[in-house]
Amino acid sequence: MSIRSYFRLALHTQMLPLLESGEETLVGGQAVMEGVMMRSPHSYCTAVRRASGEIVTEESPLPRVSETYPMFKYPILRGVGTLGQAMWLGVKALKFSANVAMADENSKDGKPEAAEIPAWVMTANLVFSLLFFIVLYKFVPLWLTTQLQNVYPVIENRFLFNLVDGVIRIAIFITFLFGLSRYKDIHRVFEFHGAEHKVVFNFESGKPVTTANAQSYVTFHPRCGTSFLLVVMVISMVLYTILPVDGFAAKFAARIVLLPLIAGLSYELIRFAARKRGSLLAMMTAPGLWLQKITTQPPNDQQVEVAIHALDGAMALEKKQGGELVIA
């Protein structure tokens, strides 16, 4: 595996939380390298277009985490379980797409050669991504706010401290997103992300899922992972403010320990907002939709075709299992 391929995989791994909603709905999905993963209630299918133009797929049954582990049926916990499964599935789909990309890179005489990313490479990549997330979004904002507090003592106020900390975190997040969007490979992922959203909207409308119909919809969807991460950051600001914790080390530890709780609370808010579009809480998710102007881009017809192919594969497997196609 070349350094370029590893770097590309690392960047795509960083995008996983932005591209996967993780909610137990009728259909949902995620963009991957040159493709889209679509999931139905009990199945998923990843469709990737090879350099030759051929679309290859990987599909499998996928029981809901709440059906396998009943404890994840309850509020807050259901968010933790569902998001955990979504990340696991996202990594699996990303690995499949990366294997296809490697096979195309290693092709001889126009014929792709089978390739498989070693398990240790994926593990190292995930560990790096997790550490990167903690450093960039937990350590750096806290450290910068602490330095500002030394210059402006008024920031010692718990409310102001966490407000500044949160604003810095969001600023880093938006800057990081914008910078990545300038990278050609990630821009294409954002186009497939837009294709996934358009096809989901098309399916939810009840109209026949076709390229022309899908292209008539917008790319901004309320259940997007981009919206979720922004909600996570806002809820973090509120939760950190009410914590009676002082000292840099204690604050940093609390930010890590509380990650599951914050994720669970954010999941519940996004879930409610998706169903109650006109509510006050739904208005809190609006900035996430605006941010999707970066993380989703208008796809071409070929990209929409891949997303439809993935959806058809997931739904066909769902029907074989006799699953009831109802919204969770």
Whole-number pLDDT of residue 191: 95
Q: Which of 312, 298, 305, 59 is nearest to 193 (CA)?
A: 298
Residue at 115: amino acid letter: A
Long-range contacts of 285-290 (CB under 8 A, 24+ apart): 285/222, 285/227, 285/230, 285/231, 287/230, 288/222, 288/224, 288/226, 288/227, 288/228, 288/229, 288/230, 288/231, 289/220, 289/222, 289/224, 289/227
Predicted local confidence at residue 295, as pLDDT: 87
Quote the tokens at residue 212: 């022309």
Token readout for 233 is 């950051």
pLDDT digits (tens, 9 = 90+) for 257-302: 999 999 898 888 877 766 666 555 556 667 777 788 888 999 999 9
Sheet of 55-61, strand order = 28-32, 35-40, 43-49, 55-61
User: What is the tens place of the pLDDT at every residue in 116-134?
Assistant: 888 888 888 889 888 999 9
What CA–CA distances, in Å, run from 173 to 168, 222, 263, 272?
9, 19, 17, 24
Please compute Rg for the chain using Cα positions.
Answer: 20
Structure tokens at 67: 């059906």
Q: What is the mean pLDDT of residues 75-91?
A: 87
Question: How many Å apart are CA 35 and CA 210, to the nearest integer?
Answer: 17
How do strand 43-49 and strand 55-61 relate by DSSP bridges? antiparallel
Eight-class DSSP state of 221: -
194: left (phi over 0), alpha (psi -120 to 50) or beta: alpha
Mean pLDDT of the chain: 85
Summarize pLDDT for 24-55 with one digit per residue, the tens.
556 788 999 999 999 888 899 999 999 889 99
Local structure of 216: helix, strand or coil: coil
Instruction: Give the pLDDT confidence score for residue 175 in this predicted structure.
Output: 92
Question: Which whole number is the average pLDDT over 219-237?
Answer: 82
Q: What is the pLDDT of residue 46?
A: 96
Helix ranges (H only) for 182-321 are 184-205, 211-215, 225-241, 248-257, 259-275, 280-284, 286-295, 301-320
User: Which one is predicted more confidently, 221 or 151?
Assistant: 151
What is the mean pLDDT of the segment spanning 14-22?
Answer: 65
Q: What is the mean pLDDT of residues 90-98?
A: 91
- Exposure b/e, 232-243, CB count within 10 A at least 16 = b: bbbbbbebbbee
pLDDT of residue 4: 66
Q: What is the pLDDT of residue 27?
A: 78
Q: For the chain, what are the domain ranges?
A: 3-319
pTM score: 0.85
